A and B are shown apart, each in its own frame.
Chain A
């Protein structure tokens, strides 16, 4: 009886070989599909050529090219065999989605991508008048294809040795271009929102943010469940729900003296596997601030590349993880000091409940040219359950000793008993006190979210997740 069930159920594969940690189960990355996507988007020949070059790289690169990290790769929870990207996601905004009413309070712009739809794309009059551009790649290619070319061609704003970046570069089906001209400093943030989670579907997207000289921008990235994703996420615990796939980039070029703050709130539903790349080149005197909160997905593999090319450029990166269930957060960051007197300040913090895992891999490289570097990397973990696992690999590669500072620091510890005692002595119940300490540990990112509504949302999500973790501990 069981035999016949196995024979008649496609994909039940009782004798399927065990998936190795480095096995990437994606099947949609093949030449015919790439050609179809390119044709559907009406792309010029150079763009198709770029996709095919990237596809070649994807095929030849191993999943992890950095020999330091090959033992910390685990894609076994990704089951992406049947996942297919949307053939032709919308490039035209839905009715009413571009009017002033669609603009959230306190923001200067919003673009919203929900699965294959484009419900909202709106920019304040002020931003438009200042010459800020916010559009899809589709629109940009129609309007002025050659303007996009130097930003896209050759993957100049993506790591060249990364298999998953090559995957995105080959197969992207949606893109967002955000340009701020020289001297323009927007007061209020621009929001980019992606929503997904429909089982079996993939959203592969690139976002390019280009700031001119002395330009200033704050960007809020919101990654959340679509309606289909919320439905899948609600049943994800235990039940076998088809996975959804997200591959996304934020590719940043910072002009001289410009300033960019990015706050990201990743709360995809539990059936999503996400591969994320953030890559920034900073020119002289430019400053970059990342505040990244990683909460959602089944598995997220993220890579951040900060290239401090210009003298006196700087990056501040604060990343938090709040994990539960059997989530895996695989987070790598590379910071390369190239110019003189550059500054890097990188902080990662993870609090893990249930059987969640985090791999925090940070590498600071100080090139010989980078005289006067000040660089600090901190990775801190808090395991809140006995099944949780935190891995930290904070590394330094230094060719120039003439530094203001080159250091890293890491610690893993339980909730501090002294802090707990103090709070309890003030009449706060133990569980409440624990919550305060854990959420306080993760506060550095919350405080850096520029948009009040997004900040509130992040606080709510952290509290919800804390409560969910408590429930599973009691159960």
Chain B
């Protein structure tokens, strides 16, 4: 069986959010019922969570692999390690990090210490300090922001009330997988009427714990409260594990406002399969701001279920697909209550043989009278070896819905390039400027420092395309 070796973690105890004892643990490769039981036992979980995991495991076994997107059948579930306790000292060394990633850090201007963390070869202590002080500020106003595992222990009531209610294990094969073996992720709770003044950045929190493979994020925002959550960062996350299957659940209670921003930049060998869904109750607003530039394949459609009258959904989804990448992304807005509104804007760029797919659903259920919805998908293809697909599903079951959908696919026109070059830009600069402009609908929603980094990232990607 698994070796479980306790090591003492003195240095970290002063931050007050780590257990005294860290278990250095790893389950055997492959997924069996015992693996699930073992994970639950290591985490010392309540009985109901073990049952939840096992129910999910059973469903995972029965559920066929989705065929509507290519390439998932190559995932070998027997080769994966499903649980790995993040250790204090990583065995990997900086020398193991691929040259390309090192160069990217360099060019993005990421500090030396952060690079090591991002590459998975060390922790970034400075950010832990920041995280620690942020947490103190937040706790004064009653906001909880911590790891999901920890929250299960410290806030069992809120946890049990909402966990798995937005994305049940039976939702899809990868949600079932995540539900069976989840570990890590963020838990956010914002009490009634509280407006969190600054964005909560998962980046700082995750720095301290390493990035999970099967993250589970749960965000509960009480009536009239407001929060902005940001995950990911512009630097590529170098992962040893090739499968990342996360679940994100957001509950926006009446009159609340939640914005969830993601910049996904996994290294190019990762399968990133994420189920992200929010419930928007009466007069609540949920916004997903989602960008995907990394991974080999991403399958992710941030969804909003408009459950209460007057709820609003706003989704901006951006994808850049380069060589050997398939960004299968999009959005879903499901209108379930009267007078609800949704807006979906998708922008994709494909180049160097990459494939960008928009897949989305807009549904108006019986009873959702007076729904107003719009979908806009634009795709830019930078060469003729790349591919762009658009698959929107529109299902309207009410007679007074107002719905519009527009999609275009095109390339950068020679005229635009010529004009910019006549003003003294190089061809590369001109192309870069046009792509940045194309993606601006996303960039302008980001906090400034993220926007600058994101533009720099796009520029780098573009340079690659011309090299």
Contacts and interface: CB of A to CB of B under 8 A. Distances in A.
A73 interface: no
Contacts of B391: 68, 393, 395
B447 interface: no
B399 interface: yes
B388 A396 contact: yes
B405 A411 contact: yes
B306 to A, nearest CB: 17
Interface residues on A, range: 35 or more
Interface in B375-402: 379, 381-402
B407 A407 contact: yes
A109 interface: no
B407 A414 contact: no
A407 B408 contact: yes
A391 B398 contact: no
Nearest to A368: B384
B48 interface: no
A407 B390 CA distance: 10
B405 A409 contact: yes
Contacts of B401: 383, 412-414
A393 B409 contact: no
Given A394-B392, A397-B388, 13 more contacts: A68-B68, A383-B397, A383-B398, A391-B394, A397-B389, A398-B388, A398-B389, A405-B410, A407-B408, A410-B394, A410-B404, A411-B405, A414-B402
A402 B380 CA distance: 11
A405 B413 CA distance: 12
Nearest to A361: B393
Nearest to B402: A413
A70 B67 CA distance: 10
A401 B411 contact: yes
B408 A386 contact: no
A359 B48 CA distance: 42
Given A401-B411, A406-B408, A407-B407, A383 B389 contact: no
Interface string B396-435: 1111111111111111000000000000000000000000
Interface of A: 67-68, 70, 368, 379, 381, 383-403, 405-414
Given A394-B405, A401-B381, A401-B410, A386 B399 contact: yes
Given A383-B399, A389-B397, A390-B396, A401 B383 contact: yes
B199 interface: no
B109 interface: no
B71 interface: no
A418 B405 CA distance: 21
A227 to B, nearest CB: 37
17 contacts: A383-B401, A386-B398, A390-B396, A395-B392, A397-B388, A398-B387, A398-B389, A401-B381, A401-B383, A402-B384, A407-B406, A407-B407, A408-B405, A409-B404, A411-B405, A412-B401, A413-B403
B418 to A, nearest CB: 16
Contacts of A389: 395-397
A413 B393 CA distance: 16
A395 B389 contact: yes
A386 B400 CA distance: 8
A389 B395 CA distance: 7
Contacts of A391: 393-396
Contacts of A410: 392, 394, 403-405
B55 to A, nearest CB: 24
B30 interface: no
A397 to B, nearest CB: 5
B437 interface: no
A402 B404 CA distance: 26
Contacts of A396: 388-390, 407, 409
B394 A401 contact: no
Contacts of B396: 381, 383, 389-391, 412
